[in-house]
Amino acid sequence: MHSIPSVRTYVLVWLTLTIMTFVTFYVSTINLGEWNIVVALLIAFFKMMLVILIFMNVKAESPLTKLFVGAGFFWMVLLLGQVAIDYISRTWMPEGKMW
């Protein structure tokens, strides 16, 4: 079993998370066009990493745990990415040639 972060660290992370919630809320009221979603997802990703690394204490976990966490995201990317391949390229009509 491994070291566990201090109360101070936890509270700091919590503060950051709360602030990020307000930031994402505020940013959503500004029209950035296509970038709204990108910013929102980046913030969400950042918050997620904080929760995973500190609250779930993956930072101090074994490489095996890190591997499994990584595998989760890798497979999620496989699912989203490969489905996206179809939808992105559906309107590119080829004219009897491959490329």
**Site residues (CB under 8 A) for another protein?**
1, 4-5, 7, 10-11, 13-14, 17-18, 21-22, 24-25, 28-33, 36-37, 40-41, 43-44, 47-48, 51-52, 54-57, 61-62, 64-65, 68-69, 71-73, 75-76, 78-80, 82-98
CA distance 34 to 47: 21
Distances (CA, A) of 39 to 44, 45, 49: 9, 10, 15
Closest approach of Cβ 89 to another protein, in Å? 4
Q: How far is the CB of 18 from another protein (least distance, A)?
A: 6
Q: Report the nearest approach of another protein to the CB of residue 93 (Å).
A: 4
Q: How far is it, in rounded angstroms, from Cα 23 to Cα 17?
A: 10
Find, among 24, 73, 16, the residue nearest to 44 by Cα. 24
